[in-house]
Amino acid sequence: MPQPDQTCCGVIEEAQYRAHRRRANKPQPWIALKFTVALTIALTGYSTYVYAGRFCKDMLMKNSNAQGGPATGVAFLVVFCVLLFLMSWSYVMVVTTSPGHARDYTQTTTRPGYERQNDRPSLNSNDIRGTSYELTTPTVDLSRHLTHEPETQSRSDSQKHHLQLLPASGSGNGDRAASQASPIDSSVAKTERNSQATSADPEEAHVTDVLAAPEAPHVPDTAILPTHANTRESSKNNSPLMISRSPPSTPVLLPEYRYCSRCKIIKPPRAHHCRACGTCILKYDHHCPWIGQCVGAFNHKFFVNFLQWGTVFCFWTLATLLGLNVKSQTRSPAPDLDPQQIVVIALSGLFGLFCILMFITQLHLIRLNQTTVESIGSRSMRDREQEVLSNEYRWYEIGAKRRTQKQWDNEWGEIGREGNLWWLGSGRANWEAVMGKNMWWWFLPIGHRLDDGMSYQTNPRFDDQGRWRRRKEWPSELR
Ligand SMILES: [Zn+2]
Ligand SMILES: [Zn+2]
């Protein structure tokens, strides 16, 4: 909650903040949610009319502007109808299957944890309290380990180097001491104070939760990166560069970190609140306007099936319409172009591209057993590491960058795989967890619920509260 500020700017800011909270708490109206479903059906209907009722019909009827013979017309129409059927079937399944609403499976309760003093986030902690685990800040601990230098020298160095402070890092893995010992400049100190204020106040945590809905993940941006000039200077001085990876230490599996203040429930693991739907969704992937609801635990597989057939349907339509229209223009006399077919060529190209990009992304994420919202954390962590490395090394020091990253991976495991709380150990296992073991299920929108949306196997490389551990702390058979 912002501090009351009596200045003009303060009043405006508070009014904006309250308006934002009101909007954030309200789901979208039903008509707005479902409008795109009607639009999708209308566009499919129109494309079917143009393809079957104009393009194929001309060929079957041997009209003068036909693009091919009757046999071609029949073959194209049959393939088109099969693909239309598979895509429509998948679409009906994904639209009519609920993603799984957490409120149907959990009881409402008050925010837990604050009576348990030991679990309460420490005011002196360097951790920024994650409001839900996908939002915890992936971090790279930039704190240099200046143990080779006396404390006084560290301090004077820090004024030159703008030493970095890391959010959500350190505790429990031995880096905290280094972090805390690192002197910080005034801007960093200010950032730290702000972030601690955020994490300390229970009401504020609630507010952060409201503002940080999964569609717009809030990744606290408090890591202050070193400037090029400063780090170059440190390289020149040959001071040993000891940057280390320090993943968030937030115990994300604890009920305190899974509380949804809007639904007043303790979210099951992997569930998140969807701002558009106004409710918590089991194994939330993302809110998809084209299906008018979320993609979650129970309809994720159908969504992938829809993308598969949507891609094939669009590219079949595009290829046949475009191919024959181009080919017919080489004839003499060339038949007139049908403007409606041109419109469908553009539509199928656009939607085909959209579907295939979504499909490739989904394939990649399913192989990692990450939902879209969970992948944001990994991506952000990777980006930060790249940023840190490019600040620490010159652009041509590619080998050194690789070696540092490899060193981190040796110590911790790979981001997104060993460093993914839900990674099941192999791409195949991850794929089957979403798409099923039966190969028919991979291609057809059939199959019962593969999971209950409430409990998921966790990666044994994490502790039982959901914190990524170092390789040396992993079960011995996994090291
Ligand atoms: Zn919720
Ligand atoms: Zn939604």
CA 262 / ligand 1 centre spacing (Å): 5
CA 286 / ligand 2 centre spacing (Å): 7
pLDDT at 377: 87
pLDDT at 301: 94
Instruction: Name the pairing type of β-strands 272-274 and 279-281.
Output: antiparallel
3-state secondary structure of 338: coil
| Helix 202-211 × helix 8-25 angle, to 10° | 70
pLDDT at 245: 83
Q: For residue 225, with 0-12 CB atoms within 10 Å meaning exposed, 13-18 middle and 19 or more buried, which class applies?
A: middle
Closest CA to 464 of 308, 191, 264, 253: 253
CA 283 / ligand 1 centre spacing (Å): 12
pLDDT at 22: 60
Ligand whose nearest atom lies closest to the CA of 285? 2
CA 216 / ligand 1 centre spacing (Å): 15
Cβ neighbours of residue 297 closer than 8 Å, sequence gap 6 or more: 99, 100, 270, 281, 282, 283, 449, 451, 452, 453
CA 245 / ligand 1 centre spacing (Å): 32
CA 253 / ligand 1 centre spacing (Å): 16
CA 291 / ligand 2 centre spacing (Å): 10
| Helix 300-328 × helix 427-435 angle, to 10° | 90
- Would you kindly state where each structural domain of the chain is located, as residue ranges? 39-103+296-362, 106-267+370-423+459-478
Per-run averaged pLDDT (10 residues), the chain, 479 residues: 56 69 73 93 96 94 88 96 97 95 93 57 34 34 35 36 32 33 33 35 32 36 36 44 78 91 94 94 95 95 96 97 91 85 96 97 95 91 88 87 89 89 92 92 86 91 90 87
Q: What are phi and psi of 11, to 5 degrees?
A: -65, -45
| Helix 300-328 × helix 70-96 angle, to 10° | 160
CA 281 / ligand 1 centre spacing (Å): 8
Beta partners for 293?
288
Q: How far apart are CA 181 and CA 139, in angstroms?
A: 18
Ligand whose nearest atom lies closest to the CA of 292? 2
CA 298 / ligand 2 centre spacing (Å): 13
